Amino acid sequence: MTLSDAPLDAHDQEQALLRAVEDRFPTTIARLAGLVRIPSVSWDAFDRVHVRRSAERTAELLRETGVFDSVDIDGVETADGYAGQPAVIATRAAEPGQPTVLLYAHHDVQPQGSADDWRTPPFEPTLRDGRLYGRGASDDKAGVMTHIAAVEALSAATSGRPKIGISVFIEGEEENGSRSFADFLEKHMAALGADAIIVADSDNPSTTVPGLTVSLRGNVTMKVTVRTLGHASHSGMLGGAVPDAMLATVRLLDSLWDEHGAVAVSGLGSRADGPSGGDEADVRRDAELLEGVATIGTGTVHDRLWNQPAITITGIDAPSVDEASNTLLPAVSVRLSARIAPGDDAARAFEAIERHLREHAPFGAHIEITQPDLGQPFLVDTAGPAVGLMKTAMEDGWGAQPTETGIGGSIPFIAALAEVYPEAEILVTGVEDPATMAHSPNESQDLGVLRRAISAEALFLHRFARPDADIR
Ligand SMILES: [Zn+2]
């Protein structure tokens, strides 16, 4: 055996791994920029050809790592006829006795929104003050590149022969509700089975402190239609004697919150022992709360955002102001969108909201509830060995202690993953920071965060291998 063939010891391997992250980082940024140029919006009204192109480019990058046994693109059709957007799936078998990790991210993006609000065009990646700007530059194409770059670094440190099994699932419709996710999982159940699952699609508390997301709220949405009259009537003839649907709707909706703006629906749970704290000034700044406008809810900021339910009316069907005539409306519909607390159950929460609406129907108004959409909340079991391994890898990759965080938003497929793979530990990491502006104009990725996130994930992958008995 010549010296150059001699296997590196674990410490040298980690040094080689971190060097590989460093050396390849300019390439990683260039590849991320290339992905951002593809406007892979997964919403129904957008051309699917771009999502297909971004799947193909992602598959190409995964193949170029040289470590996967197979890399494929697939989309599945659901029972109700929805054609799933193309996802990328790659697998490498584990050596005997070694564990397998599943790496998840998504390559589709949100629409750009109003073009005027962007300082630079959304699909022309632009580097400014250490951040890469563009739609998807962070959410979640930086997540995609984190996985690819971490696998490349692992490969460099192990002479192209990592011991662990690695599966990759890069979804193509996360921003469109992951509608074929369950069917996709069912079809690829065997390929995606793993001991640990890294979901790189979340947030960090700052650009220097890594976050491990351990709680996510669920969501419950529905269409609520309120009816009081068989037909529209002249408000001068009957106004004041019969309730129009708008009056009933306004009073019904008002009953959903107490005087502080906290949710007043009994039967919706809160999490008592969740992460607390948070700074109200951050909320004011992030929301650009207008002068003199108060925040709502009770408890600490993190309590309100992570541990308690929230209800928002996100749409209303009624005549527009310009088209309004002096008419009593017979029916009004609204979209009700609720975030539910970790530990609560989406079906139970839906029932609680439905019961509340029926019990509070003013003047005996008729309430119709349709189009329910439920997503389960999720709590990570933080006692497992992979969680401990990830925290140490984050500390070493970032040079800072990680914080356990919650998020106010929902990633319903995480609960679905946990249901299909109950044995797997789920690690929700991410590349976002408070300035990322995911889903908004001027979304950007902090490049320091990206480098640290790749280092942390590469270290985790390396340490995830079980030490083998027969070292030659
Ligand atoms: Zn995302």
Query: What is the residue extent of each domain of the chain?
Result: 3-216+378-464, 218-271+308-375
Separation of 289 CA from ligand 1 center, angstroms? 25
What are the distances in angstroms from CA 439 to CA 98, 138, 161, 250, 444? 38, 10, 38, 30, 10
Q: Report the length, in residues, of the chain.
A: 472
Mean pLDDT of 188-206: 94
In which band, very low, low, confident or very high, does the pLDDT at 6 lie, cut at 50, 70 and 90?
low
The long-range contacts involving 122-129, CB below 8 angstroms and separated by at least 24 positions, are 122/39, 122/441, 122/443, 123/36, 123/37, 123/38, 123/39, 124/37, 125/32, 125/33, 125/36, 125/37, 128/444
Q: What are 217-270's pLDDT values in tens digits? A: 999 999 999 999 999 999 999 999 999 999 999 999 999 999 999 999 999 999
Separation of 23 CA from ligand 1 center, angstroms? 27
Separation of 134 CA from ligand 1 center, angstroms? 14
The residue type at 81:
G
CA 70 to chain centre: 26
Examine residue 303 and say whether the peptide bond preceding it is cis (omega within 30 degrees of 0).
Answer: no
Q: Are 268 and 349 in contact (CB under 8 A)?
A: yes
Mean pLDDT of 396-411: 92
Separation of 146 CA from ligand 1 center, angstroms? 13
| CA separation for the pair 180, 86 (Å, rounded) | 10
Q: Which of 148, 161, 139, 2 shows the shortest CA–CA distance to 67?
A: 161
- The SS3 of residue 88 is strand
Buried b / exposed e along 396-421 (16+ C-beta atoms within 10 A): bbbebebbebbbbebbbbbbbbbeeb
CATH of span 218-271+308-375: 3.30.70.360
Residue 344 has pLDDT above 50, yes or no: yes
Separation of 298 CA from ligand 1 center, angstroms? 28
User: Which H or E element spans position 338?
Assistant: strand 331-340
- The SS3 of residue 233 is strand
The token duo for 196 is 């640990």
Separation of 51 CA from ligand 1 center, angstroms? 15
Separation of 195 CA from ligand 1 center, angstroms? 23
The predicted structure's pLDDT at residue 30? 98
Separation of 345 CA from ligand 1 center, angstroms? 23
Q: What are 307-337's pLDDT values in tens digits? A: 999 999 999 999 999 999 999 999 999 999 9
Buried b / exposed e along 231-257 (16+ C-beta atoms within 10 A): eebeeeeeeeeebbbbbbbebbbeebb
For ligand 1, an ion, list residues with CB under 5 A.
139-140, 201
- The SS3 of residue 260 is coil
Separation of 464 CA from ligand 1 center, angstroms? 25
The token duo for 123 is 């699909």
CA distance from start to end of the chain: 11
| CA separation for the pair 41, 108 (Å, rounded) | 6
Please identify which residue in the block is written with the tokens 């709680």.
Answer: 215
Separation of 459 CA from ligand 1 center, angstroms? 23
Residue 468 has pLDDT above 70, yes or no: no
Separation of 140 CA from ligand 1 center, angstroms? 5
Separation of 397 CA from ligand 1 center, angstroms? 22
Q: What are 39-95's pLDDT values in tens digits? A: 999 999 999 999 999 999 999 999 999 999 999 999 999 999 999 999 999 999 999
Separation of 34 CA from ligand 1 center, angstroms? 18
Q: Are 17 and 154 in contact (CB under 8 A)?
A: yes
Q: Which of 137, 147, 193 shows the shortest CA–CA distance to 170?
A: 147
Q: What are 358-390's pLDDT values in tens digits? A: 999 999 999 999 999 998 999 988 999 999 999
| CA separation for the pair 369, 196 (Å, rounded) | 39
| CA separation for the pair 292, 173 (Å, rounded) | 39
The predicted structure's pLDDT at residue 381? 87
Separation of 108 CA from ligand 1 center, angstroms? 8
Separation of 39 CA from ligand 1 center, angstroms? 15
| CA separation for the pair 100, 69 (Å, rounded) | 14
Spell out the residues 6+ positions from residue 296 whose beta carbon is closer than 8 angstroms to its own: 257, 260, 261, 262, 304
Separation of 142 CA from ligand 1 center, angstroms? 10
Q: What are 404-435's pLDDT values in tens digits? A: 999 888 887 888 888 889 899 999 999 999 89
Separation of 139 CA from ligand 1 center, angstroms? 5
Mean pLDDT of 148-175: 96
Separation of 434 CA from ligand 1 center, angstroms? 14
Separation of 136 CA from ligand 1 center, angstroms? 8
Separation of 201 CA from ligand 1 center, angstroms? 5
Residue 462 has pLDDT above 80, yes or no: yes
Task: Could you please state the CATH topology (level 3) that the domain comprising 3-216+378-464 is classified under.
Answer: Aminopeptidase (3.40.630)
The token duo for 261 is 């703006």
Separation of 114 CA from ligand 1 center, angstroms? 20
The token duo for 285 is 């700044």
Separation of 191 CA from ligand 1 center, angstroms? 23
The token duo for 71 is 């890399």
In which band, very low, low, confident or very high, does the pLDDT at 470 lie, cut at 50, 70 and 90?
very low
Separation of 42 CA from ligand 1 center, angstroms? 12
Separation of 440 CA from ligand 1 center, angstroms? 12
Mean pLDDT of 125-154: 98
- The SS3 of residue 375 is strand
Separation of 112 CA from ligand 1 center, angstroms? 14
